[in-house]
């Protein structure tokens, strides 16, 4: 299993409710990718329990993309606005939630998150990271070192993310980071983090397709799915047809994945649908 998946269980625990671990009488916050559901997100503004929000690209090098900016939203826990927003996170997985250990200014929380959208990458440049996407955010939280994890969580306190399954993950809180360390809250995008981000969508699809938690996925399943994608097979309905091959029990004597015919089909220059037909029919 890729290391980042195995660390999910060590850094978080499964919870059935998004509000698990949150203090009832204090505000909670959501990071929402509002561009993926603009009408439903806009409707939140008028609902009871809505306090305030900020656009996270404002005042950053990403400000030209302000209309597509994710939001940082402050809500009353358990309110109508909260219920609607958390439904968005669970049904469409367009965001995640947190609650600081102490009362915090919305602007300070936004400043912390703004540092995380552009990270120094291992190639000597900088890369945009979709922090608002729970798929990417989960990979970042799981894949980094303990120091990187603390830098990511920083002042956010209790972080809770959706999963590909109906439950949620509540992540370990970290010791508060002092003001002197505020400029160091953006970890570099290491090779490990970069690889986890590349694998994250694949892992989420497999988890949902097999009803298996991310941290329990067998490593060979992810490797096989990666081989299909490298062969140009990306569409969900095509991958679903080949899922039995992905889940096939390892057998050194009759390893379908090691057969010359399989490898030839994967490398063949043909449309994806025709390749899937041939792979599905091959012995």
Domain check: are 64 and 148 in the same one? yes
Domain check: are 175 and 229 in the same one? no
Last-in-domain residue among 173, 201, 229:
201
pLDDT digits (tens, 9 = 90+) for 14-41: 999 888 879 888 899 999 999 999 999 9
pLDDT at residue 179, as a whole number: 47
Domain check: are 106 and 246 in the same one? no
How far apart, in Å, are the Cα atoms of 251 and each of 124, 216, 258, 280? 42, 21, 10, 18
Name which of 101, 118, 112, 183 is nearest 152 in CA terms: 112
pLDDT at residue 175, as a whole number: 77
Distance, in Å, from the CA atom of 223 to the CA atom of 221, rounded to the nearest integer, reads 5
- Asked if the structure places residue 208 within a domain, the reply is no
pLDDT at residue 180, as a whole number: 44
pLDDT digits (tens, 9 = 90+) for 61-75: 999 999 999 999 999
Q: Could you list the residue range(s) of the whole structural domain that residue 26 is in? A: 3-201
pLDDT at residue 254, as a whole number: 74
Residue 127: strand pairing partners: 119
Residue 52's φ and ψ, nearest 5 degrees, are: -165, 170
Please give the angle made by the CA atoms of 106, 47 and 25, to the nearest 5 degrees: 55
pLDDT digits (tens, 9 = 90+) for 80-128: 999 999 999 988 889 999 999 888 999 999 999 999 999 998 898 999 9
Place of tokens 């509540």: 170
Domain check: are 170 and 235 in the same one? no
Distance, in Å, from the CA atom of 7 to the CA atom of 2, rounded to the nearest integer, reads 9
pLDDT at residue 181, as a whole number: 46
Residue 30's φ and ψ, nearest 5 degrees, are: -130, 140
Domain check: are 174 and 79 in the same one? yes
Domain check: are 128 and 248 in the same one? no
Inter-residue contact 193 to 143 (CB < 8 Å): yes
User: No. of H helices and E strands in the chain?
Assistant: 13, 9
Place of tokens 């097979």: 233
pLDDT digits (tens, 9 = 90+) for 204-254: 999 999 999 999 999 899 999 999 999 999 999 999 999 999 998 877 667
* Terminal-residue alpha carbon distance, the chain: 27
Q: Give the distance from CA 163 to its chain's centroid.
A: 8
Domain total in the chain: 2
Last-in-domain residue among 174, 201, 228:
201
Domain check: are 186 and 241 in the same one? no
- Asked if the structure places residue 207 within a domain, the reply is no
Q: Residue 247, SS3?
A: coil
- Asked if the structure places residue 65 within a domain, the reply is yes
* % of the chain beyond a pLDDT of 70: 95
Name which of 84, 184, 200, 96 is nearest 142 in CA terms: 200
- Asked if the structure places residue 211 within a domain, the reply is no
Q: Residue 282, SS3?
A: coil
Please give the angle made by the CA atoms of 180, 184 and 187, to the nearest 5 degrees: 160
Domain check: are 100 and 127 in the same one? yes
Range from 21-25, 41-45, 136-140 that averages highest in pLDDT: 136-140
Last-in-domain residue among 201, 229, 253:
201
DSSP string computed for 266-279:
HHS-S-HHHHHHHH
């Amino acid at each position: 299993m890729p290391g980042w998946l195995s660390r999910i269980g060590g850094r978080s625990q499964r919870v059935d409710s998004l509000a698990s671990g949150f203090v009832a009488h204090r505000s909670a916050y959501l990071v929402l990718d509002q561009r993926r559901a603009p009408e439903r997100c806009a409707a939140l503004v008028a609902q009871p329990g809505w306090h305030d929000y900020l656009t996270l690209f404002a005042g950053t090098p990403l400000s030209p993309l302000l209309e597509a900016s994710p939001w940082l939203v402050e809500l009353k826990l358990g309110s109508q606005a909260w219920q609607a927003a958390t439904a968005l996170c669970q049904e469409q997985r367009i965001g995640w939630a947190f609650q600081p250990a102490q009362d915090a200014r919305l602007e300070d929380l936004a400043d912390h998150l703004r540092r995380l959208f552009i990270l120094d990458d291992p190639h000597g440049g900088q890369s945009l990271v979709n922090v608002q996407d729970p798929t990417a955010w989960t990979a970042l939280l799981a894949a980094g070192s303990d120091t990187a994890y603390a830098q990511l969580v920083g002042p956010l306190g209790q972080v809770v993310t959706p999963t590909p399954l109906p439950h949620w993950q509540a992540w370990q809180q970290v010791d508060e980071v002092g003001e002197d360390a505020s400029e160091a809250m953006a970890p570099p995008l290491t090779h490990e983090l970069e690889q986890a981000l590349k694998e994250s969508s694949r892992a989420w699809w497999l988890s949902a397709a097999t009803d298996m938690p991310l941290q329990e996925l067998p490593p060979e399943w992810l490797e096989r799915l990666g081989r299909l994608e490298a062969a140009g097979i990306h569409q969900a309905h095509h991958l679903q047809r080949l899922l039995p091959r992905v889940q096939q029990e390892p057998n050194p004597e009759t390893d379908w994945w090691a057969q010359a015919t399989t490898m030839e089909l994967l490398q063949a220059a043909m449309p994806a649908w025709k390749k899937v037909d041939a792979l599905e029919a091959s012995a």
